[in-house]
């Protein structure tokens, strides 16, 4: 008797669930991957490394950036790093936003380690390429980090923070242009 009840119950469960399984829609196709931009002939951002920037040159770069920030009355945090992204010189201008201290260092570090302007990563995020966040946990995807080149070789980077992204970039560019 128990066996008959168990079999009847099992058949009833199958009969009840069968129509719902038959109406399940097929799984949707995975979303199309964004274009990778093709395969370039040359390696992008292939800037050779030079001897890391020293303190005296870092002070000159810093002075150029600070002078422009003072001229515009923008309170900035400015960091200069070596080719490894390690801090060489730092300045927090009077009244500059405290939260921007590590941001300026992060922008400089990102620019040095990836040999490109930090805005490149900001632009990638803006166009839907979220993979950028998986590259490096210290990456800062925001305008305001510039590589420092001397004789066509990377010697370090400068990062600025405290204003808008474009304000940060403008101040950093003044320091980076001193190296050219």
Residues of 16-36 as b/e, b for ≥16 C-beta within 10 angstroms? eeeeeeeeeeeeeeeeeeeee
Q: Which domains does the chain have, with CATH numbers?
A: 55-178 (3.30.450.150)
38: left (phi over 0), alpha (psi -120 to 50) or beta: left
pLDDT above 70 for 113:
yes
Residue 136: pLDDT band (50, 70, 90) is confident
Q: What is the mean pLDDT of residues 146-172?
A: 96
Between 25 and 66, the higher pLDDT residue: 66
For the chain, what percent of residues have pLDDT higher than 90?
A: 64
Between 144 and 137, the higher pLDDT residue: 144
Distance CA 43, CA 54 (A): 28
Residue 4: pLDDT band (50, 70, 90) is low
Tens digit of each residue's pLDDT (9 = 90 or more) over 20-56: 555 666 666 666 655 566 677 777 788 989 999 999 9
Distance CA 104, CA 92 (A): 10
For the chain, what percent of residues have pLDDT higher than 70?
A: 79
pLDDT at 32: 60
pLDDT at 1: 55
**How many C-beta neighbours within 10 Å does residue 67 have?**
13
Q: What is the mean pLDDT of residues 10-28?
A: 57
**How many C-beta neighbours within 10 Å does residue 112 have?**
30
- Which stretches of 23-164 are DSSP H helices? 55-72, 100-114, 119-126
Stated pTM of the model: 0.76
Mean pLDDT of the chain: 86
Residue 80 and residue 58 in contact, taking contact as beta carbons nearer than 8 Å? yes
């Amino acid at each position: 008797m128990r066996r008959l009840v168990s079999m009847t119950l099992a058949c009833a469960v199958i009969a009840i669930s069968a129509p719902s399984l038959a109406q399940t829609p097929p799984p949707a196709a995975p979303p199309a991957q964004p274009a990778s931009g093709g395969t370039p002939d040359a390696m992008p951002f292939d800037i050779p490394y030079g001897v890391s920037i020293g303190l005296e040159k870092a002070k000159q770069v810093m002075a150029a950036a600070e002078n422009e920030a003072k001229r515009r009355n923008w309170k900035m945090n400015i960091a200069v790093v070596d080719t490894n992204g390690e801090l060489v010189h730092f300045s927090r201008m009077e009244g500059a936003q405290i939260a921007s201290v590590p941001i300026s260092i992060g922008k400089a570090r990102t620019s040095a380690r990836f040999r490109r302007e930090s805005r490149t990563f900001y632009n990638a995020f803006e166009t839907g390429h979220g993979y950028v966040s998986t590259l490096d946990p210290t990456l800062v995807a925001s305008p305001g980090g510039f590589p420092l080149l001397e004789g066509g070789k990377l010697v370090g980077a400068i990062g600025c923070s405290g204003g808008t992204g474009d304000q940060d970039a403008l101040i950093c560019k003044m320091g980076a242009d001193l190296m050219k």
